[in-house]
Structure 1
């Protein structure tokens, strides 16, 4: 019997937290849902890092951002010099700075500024760094029926990709009906990250920071191990 094909779908976020990457790691195809409308003050263009033991937010401006524009039509600003300096200052003493910082610079300084394409590049760079093959697609490049409810659209994308299993973050437990997915020949699963800790250079641990913090503090082997620290239900 052939293995079941697993698909996960999330809006594109730039350098999100570890749980986002766990979701991507557990599926065969990870879809960045760039057809969704942009959300201001969400995680599309921002997250948190640790600097001198304090949580610090970073933001990449999105010129012309609007709740009425789909993410696929928006771009990140080219003005990332201060952010690069902020990240260098926060992590230059961390054990894996030398190998990780050039990857972050490469993503942030991409000539192509499309939010969707930059986030896709970020995902690919992350998995390449870990030596993990991963298919990362944009929803705008998939031929599917873009009508109906959120569940209808997810099911349509999954069918277009030949999926057997759809995996969603645990936050979707109250949003999606397993029976609806089963009637559409899809097994609905949810993923929840374990209580994870890793060395941050300080006694107090700050969870759910950007993946940048994880990569700066952990070896490739440790990051790969952390990707499997979750519960699927």
Structure 2
């Protein structure tokens, strides 16, 4: 069994879904510290033809709080949600797959009605996109299982792999300096890294902007094409 672990990001870029697609089980770290200025509550889309960083409003966000404990600023959030969906409609309404993608966005926000933290929203954005792309990978949250918050970094990853009876762990390519192949092998685990592929696609008649939120990919590409794109990766 192959496993990967990542923090929950809001509508992450396609490489995140390539990692999900590459494993049998995907574990979301929702009980680790929130990262300010990271991708947990922010991402990039096209707005009026230019790259735009959107940010979900939070209440008292701090690197001393866990992601699961980081609350939405609920009053501001409701206003932001309406404006965000309107911005998507204005910017992408002429995109070839706007209808299906916009319906998916609405489904994500409806899914978290009554929820109050950024983890729920980010996880909903990930799960609904996986459902749309028919990815079969099982998804789990660290806050609901494992009971190993006392461990950190590599030790916690290995412990989760052992508890899940995984034989292979896959990490994003950028984390190669964080893990020791020998330590994984000592625990009967194969360590691999994923090199993602960012296929170009037509974004109206604009110069291609790579690595934007999965929202952008879904707006411009039919489901079957995106399903092909999530297979464009290599393991190192």
Same fold (TM over 0.5): yes
Residues 103-160 of structure 1 show CA distances to partners (whole Å, capped at 9, x for unaligned) of 1122134212332222222222112112222211111112243334400011111111
Give the Å deviation of 1:203.
4.0
Give the Å deviation of 1:210.
0.3
Which stretches in structure 2 are left out of the alignment for 5+ residues?
Answer: none
Could you tell me which residue of structure 2 aligns to residue 92 of structure 1?
93
Give the Å deviation of 1:67.
1.0
Could you tell me which residue of structure 2 aligns to residue 102 of structure 1?
103
Is the 2:4–2:170 contact (alpha carbons within 8 Å) kept by the matching residues of 1? yes
Structure with bigger helix share is 2
Select which of 113, 125, 128 maps to 2:131. 128
Query: How many residues are paired up?
Result: 229
Could you tell me which residue of structure 2 aligns to residue 49 of structure 1?
45
Worse-superposed segment, 6-15 or 136-145: 136-145
Select which of 12, 17, 32 maps to 1:16. 12
User: What is the TM-score when the length of structure 2 is the normalising length?
Assistant: 0.92
Residues 173-221 of structure 1 show CA distances to partners (whole Å, capped at 9, x for unaligned) of 1111111111111111100112421121124100000000000000111
Give the Å deviation of 1:53.
2.2
Cα distance change of structure 1 residues 184 and 147 upon mapping to structure 2, 3 Å threshold:
farther
Could you tell me which residue of structure 2 aligns to residue 209 of structure 1?
212
Structure 2: distance between partners of 1:211 and 1:158: 28
Is the 1:116–1:138 contact (alpha carbons within 8 Å) kept by the matching residues of 2? no
SS of 1:55 mapped into structure 2: strand
Residues 23-52 of structure 1 show CA distances to partners (whole Å, capped at 9, x for unaligned) of 111111111101110111111001000123
SS of 1:174 mapped into structure 2: helix
SS of 1:56 mapped into structure 2: strand
Which stretches in structure 1 are left out of the alignment for 5+ residues?
Answer: none
Structure 2: distance between partners of 1:146 and 1:132: 28
Structure 2: distance between partners of 1:194 and 1:25: 13
